[in-house]
Amino acid sequence: MKEQLQQIKEEALAAIGGAESGSALERIRVAYLGKKGSLTAVLRGMGALSADQRPVIGQIANRVRAEIEQALSDRGTALADKEQNDRLSAEKLDVTMPGADIPKGGAHPLYQVEREMSDIFTSMGFDVADGPEVELDYYNFQALNIPENHPARDTQDTFYITDRILLRSQTSPVQVRTMERQRPPIRVISPGRVYRSDALDATHSPVFHQMEGLVVDKGITMGDLKGMLETFARHMFGQSTRIRFRPHHFPFTEPSAEVDVSCFVCGGKGCRLCKGEGWIEILGAGMVHPNVLRGCDIDPEVYSGFAFGLGIERVTMTKYGIDDIRLLYENDKRFLAQF
């Protein structure tokens, strides 16, 4: 029996030494020390021994068991250490490596120009007002002195949703919404998206951006409009910029004008940007029509005002010499990165 124990011990220790994983160790533990293990079997046979043999063999058997347990635990620790070291060296990071290059984004040129325009007007005391893009016919046309069947409705090819609801074709409805909400003195700008059913080409887009301006107070004149637009044009296009008013017609302003700025590339002599004209049209403007004021319960005998509408694409394309509006919507990074 003594030899048997010795042999079990040697076998077990050899197996433990060769084990390469925790699960292999567990299989060895079960094979020797488990209920059906070979050491357990030997211990069961001890009942057949004589009374003086039993304690001697018992002692040896306990030592063998203790040695096997110790070897299992040592090997287990060694395997766990090795596993951790392997993992750590596989996961090694070189903190001196350069980082991945994340390309930097920036504001879209249209948004940059809108912000620049807003900054100029707010520095002159304007507030910023907002209005819905899905608008009532009433605000987009009716309240702006454009009754049903008025030809001006045809010149702005409008996307209708129902008979009464449409996608606003201009930012002018915000004038009316502002005057309904607020008593004079009023001084607001309102930038935003507008919609017209135009086919997309180099100069047209079914969605584009305008900025509306509205001033209403006692004693406001066309001179105020001119002075304010001149200040704006100088800030936007350079100190030597001049403006010129050409007579025009809008149903909601009287008198009305289209406003040009002197070409800031050639200074008015005529060049490619201004197509030889020396002037570039950037906005429509005029004195708010008495009918529009009256419809908002503002007495035209007491108050007067002016309004203007600027195309943000127009200003952006002029300022940067962009000759195709589609470049502003395609989001080609090579284009956008230039701003």
Binding site for ligand PHE (CB under 6 A): 170, 172, 250, 253, 284-286, 307-309
d(CA 49, CA 269): 125
Q: How far is the CB of 294 from ligand PHE (least distance, A)?
A: 17
CB nearer to ligand PHE: pick between 131 and 268 = 131
Q: What's the gap between Cα 280 and its chain centre?
A: 33
Kindly state the smallest distance separating residue 182's Cβ from ligand PHE, in Å: 17
Report the nearest approach of ligand PHE to the CB of residue 113 (Å).
17
Q: Which is nearer to ligand PHE, 286 or 295 (CB)?
A: 286
Tokens 């009305």 belong to residue: 256
Burial class (CB in 10 A: 0-12, 13-18, 19+), 68: buried
Taking CB positions, which residue lies at the least distance from ligand PHE? 309
Least distance to ligand PHE, CB of residue 144, Å = 8
Residues 6+ apart with CB under 8 A from 282: 233, 259, 260, 261, 310, 311, 314, 315, 318
Task: Give whichever of 37 and 192 is closer to ligand PHE, judged by the CB atom.
Answer: 192
Q: How far is the CB of 334 from ligand PHE (least distance, A)?
A: 32
b/e per residue 28-60 (b: at least 16 CB within 10 A): bbeebbeeebbbeebbeeeeeeeeeeeeebeeb
Q: Does residue 308 contact residue 213 with C-beta atoms inside 8 Å?
A: yes
Shortest reach from residue 307's CB to ligand PHE, in Å? 4
For residue 253, the surrounding DSSP H or E stretch is strand 253-262
Rounded to a whole number of angstroms, the minimum distance from the CB of residue 290 to ligand PHE is 14
Q: How far apart are CA 76 and CA 84, in angstroms?
A: 12
Tell the smallest beta-carbon distance from residue 172 to ligand PHE (Å). 4
Distance CA 269, CA 276 (A): 7
Shortest CB 97 distance to ligand PHE, Å: 56
Contact 192, 175 (CB under 8 A): no
Nearer to ligand PHE, 268 or 284 (CB): 284
Q: Which is nearer to ligand PHE, 268 or 309 (CB)?
A: 309
DSSP letter assigned to residue 248: E
For ligand PHE, the closer CB: 25 or 146: 146
Residue 257 and residue 20: Cα distance in Å, rounded?
91
Of the pair 256, 262, the CB lying nearest ligand PHE is at 256
Residues 121 and 112: beta-carbon distance below 8 Å: no
CB nearer to ligand PHE: pick between 169 and 262: 169
Are 222 and 287 in contact, with CB atoms under 8 Å apart? yes
User: Which residue, 61 or 292, has its beta carbon nearer to ligand PHE?
Assistant: 292
Whether the CB-CB separation of 191 and 312 falls below 8 Å is answered with yes
